[in-house]
Structure 1
């Protein structure tokens, strides 16, 4: 029976066109991910080469003053890109994966990013997760909306009822054939991505695959429930497309608007301006005020008295630090609001399967907002480490030529957070069981 049902399903021209179309779009999504992966790898290689040449060139040119040299030199920190990331690019196309900073004021540098076309950022990338979240459900709806209603409308359902001992089991077999076909297509595309993108078989890949399968089953469960209502094909098609539109587009947009308005954040540009203004105004202030704040922040540097000169690097970098200190409140507020947004979106997503799947795929691929917040915190620690290393050398005017500049390599940040399996899989599993249970109840109530 299953073999016959599968042959009948796959023989349809519409089925072949739908599967080939999704296969093509999925392949394009993988290629887009590959382009993104190559771009990231090129940027990392270029950053490493640039830092090496940049430091060597400036060290050769500014041989006399350590403070002047450190004014120009940039040090890079890389947010590690997982091999799985091209499948779910997430926020990596908006937020930079490389931070290059000097030891000057951090807040004026932390939110620098690459120049991108705003229209491209608005439309986003058609990566593999986009195909999975947006397009797979449409094909599931097209394959499932008229499973029972079409036969009733054509008058063949009575024949099925007579020939089949259990019509409910027959309906389950119809869904089983379609579920198996779509999961097989999803599996094939993911294996293709593994080969093209060289993704290792690890727990992250298994989590990505498991979440994708549960998401596909969720949409089949939605179709199963709607079909169980025993309405005509037109009603099923309209209501399923309405559900798709609501869960995929309308509801996430409403949730995003709510979160943005509830947790309003200061603009990063405003924070940068605040830091720079706080620094520039120190030029016209009494040096003692600036130095007192600096010594309060770094008591270990009190051993370096302020030289009696019109300009010196101790005072200059104290002003830079003061700019960061004066904007610290706004910086903490921005960080806190972004964390609140992240927590709120994850909590609300527990009750919205489509949004939950999207956020979890990004989290598994380390391309979510949580990863970016951790990267910003690591950038701050990285910047502070460089400052504490070079401040004594600047204040003592250590010889530039005695420093081993070749040891300063590009550093890499690896996100240590782990995927919570219960949090990732349980919401989708519960929704699936609920919809399947309701559909089963409706079918049994009608003695099918």
Structure 2
């Protein structure tokens, strides 16, 4: 029976076109993922080469003053990009994966990003997560909306009912064939991605695959419940497409609007201006006031006395530090609001399977907002480490030639946060069991009436 049902299903021209179309789009998404991966690798290699040449060139032309040299030199920190990130690009297409900073004020540099076409950013990347979240459900709806109603409308359902001992089991077999077809297609795409994108066979890929399967089953569960209502094909098609539109576009947009208004964040530009204004006003202030604040922040540098000269690097870098210190409140507010947004989106997403799946896929790929927040915190630590290393050398006016500049390589931040399996799978599991249970009740009730 299963073999016959599968032949009837796959023989349909619409089925073949639908599966082929989705397979082609999925492979295109892998190509886009590969382009993203290559761009990231290229940027990292170029950053490493640039830093090496940049430091060597400046050390050659600014031999006399360590403070002047450090004014120009940039040091880079890379947010490690996992191969699986190519399947779910997430925040990585808008937030930089490389931070290059001098030891001057951090707040004016922290939110620098690459120049990108705003139209491309608006549209986003058609990565595999987009194909899974948006397009797989449409094919599932096309395969299942008339799975029973078509036979009832054509008058062949009575023949099926008389020839089958259990019509409910027959319906389950129809769904089983379609579910298996989509899971096989998903498996082919991800198997191809393993070789094409060089994704390792690890816990992240396994979680990504199981979550994708759970999401596919969720949409089959939705269709199963709607079909169980025993309405006509037009009703099923309209209600399922309405659910798709609501779950994929309207509800996420509404939630995003709510979170943005609930937790408004100060603009990064405003924060940068605050830092720069706090720094520039120090030119007109008493130098001793600036130094006192600097010593309060770094008591270990109290032994360095302000020279009588009109300009000194001790005073200059103290001004830079005060710019950061005086914008610290706004910086903290921005970080807090972003963390609140992230927490709120995770909490609400537990009740919205589509949004939950997207967030979890990004989290697995280390391309979510939480990863970006961790990277910004690591950038701050990285910047502070460089400052504390060079401040004594600047204040002592250490010889530039005596420093081993070749040891300053590009550093890498690796997000080691663990995957929470309960958080990833439980919401989808609950929705799937609930919808399947309700659908089974409707079908068994209908069978009793027959």
Partner of 1:387: 387
Q: What is the rounded CA distance, in whole Å, between the counterparts of 2:96 and 2:234 in structure 1?
A: 47
Q: What is the rounded CA distance, in whole Å, between the counterparts of 2:144 and 2:128 in structure 1?
A: 23
Matches of residues 163-242 of structure 1 in structure 2 within 5 Å?
163-242=163-242
Matches of residues 299-448 of structure 1 in structure 2 within 5 Å?
299-447=299-447
Q: What is the rounded CA distance, in whole Å, between the counterparts of 2:32 and 2:171 in structure 1?
A: 38
Q: What is the rounded CA distance, in whole Å, between the counterparts of 1:191 and 1:89 in structure 2?
A: 18
Q: Does 1:71 align with 2:71?
A: yes
Q: Does 1:157 align with 2:166?
A: no
Matches of residues 250-329 of structure 1 in structure 2 within 5 Å?
250-329=250-329
SS at match of 2:447: coil
Write the deviation string for residues 195-240 of structure 1: whole angstroms up to 9, x where unpaired.
Answer: 1000000000000000000000000000000000000000000000
Matches of residues 14-93 of structure 1 in structure 2 within 5 Å?
14-93=14-93
Q: What is the rounded CA distance, in whole Å, between the counterparts of 2:247 and 2:99 in structure 1?
A: 36
Write the deviation string for residues 364-385 of structure 1: whole angstroms up to 9, x where unpaired.
Answer: 0000000000000000000000
Gaps of 5+ in 2: none
Q: What is the rounded CA distance, in whole Å, between the counterparts of 2:172 and 2:368 in structure 1?
A: 37
Q: What is the rounded CA distance, in whole Å, between the counterparts of 2:421 and 2:241 in structure 1?
A: 30
Q: What is the rounded CA distance, in whole Å, between the counterparts of 1:276 and 1:194 in structure 2?
A: 47
SS at match of 1:311: coil
Write the deviation string for residues 271-302 of structure 1: whole angstroms up to 9, x where unpaired.
Answer: 00000000000000000110000000000000
SS at match of 1:77: strand
SS at match of 2:76: strand
Write the deviation string for residues 134-166 of structure 1: whole angstroms up to 9, x where unpaired.
Answer: 000000000000010000000000000000000
Q: What is the rounded CA distance, in whole Å, between the counterparts of 2:438 and 2:150 in structure 1?
A: 22
SS at match of 1:78: strand
Write the deviation string for residues 15-57 of structure 1: whole angstroms up to 9, x where unpaired.
Answer: 0000000000000000000000000000000000000000000
Deviation at 1:446, TM superposition (A): 1.1
SS at match of 1:23: helix
Matches of residues 96-135 of structure 1 in structure 2 within 5 Å?
96-135=96-135
Q: What is the rounded CA distance, in whole Å, between the counterparts of 2:307 and 2:344 in structure 1?
A: 51
Count of residues in correspondence between the two structures: 448
Q: What is the rounded CA distance, in whole Å, between the counterparts of 2:214 and 2:180 in structure 1?
A: 13
Q: What is the rounded CA distance, in whole Å, between the counterparts of 1:69 and 1:192 in structure 2?
A: 49
Q: What is the rounded CA distance, in whole Å, between the counterparts of 2:8 and 2:153 in structure 1?
A: 18
SS at match of 1:446: helix
Moved over 6 A (4+): none
Deviation at 1:308, TM superposition (A): 1.0
SS at match of 2:83: coil
SS at match of 1:84: helix
Q: What is the rounded CA distance, in whole Å, between the counterparts of 2:212 and 2:273 in structure 1?
A: 43
Q: What is the rounded CA distance, in whole Å, between the counterparts of 1:299 and 1:2 in structure 2?
A: 78
Deviation at 1:329, TM superposition (A): 0.1
Deviation at 1:445, TM superposition (A): 1.1
Q: What is the rounded CA distance, in whole Å, between the counterparts of 1:63 and 1:357 in structure 2?
A: 55
Q: What is the rounded CA distance, in whole Å, between the counterparts of 1:288 and 1:255 in structure 2?
A: 51
Deviation at 1:416, TM superposition (A): 1.4
Deviation at 1:419, TM superposition (A): 1.0
Q: What is the rounded CA distance, in whole Å, between the counterparts of 1:406 and 1:91 in structure 2?
A: 33
Deviation at 1:447, TM superposition (A): 1.6
Partner of 1:148: 148
Q: What is the rounded CA distance, in whole Å, between the counterparts of 2:359 and 2:396 in structure 1?
A: 50
Q: What is the rounded CA distance, in whole Å, between the counterparts of 2:53 and 2:89 in structure 1?
A: 30
Q: What is the rounded CA distance, in whole Å, between the counterparts of 1:442 and 1:309 in structure 2?
A: 88
Q: What is the rounded CA distance, in whole Å, between the counterparts of 2:372 and 2:6 in structure 1?
A: 45
SS at match of 2:379: helix
Q: What is the rounded CA distance, in whole Å, between the counterparts of 1:416 and 1:339 in structure 2?
A: 18
Partner of 1:245: 245
Q: TM-score with structure 1 length normalisation? A: 1.00
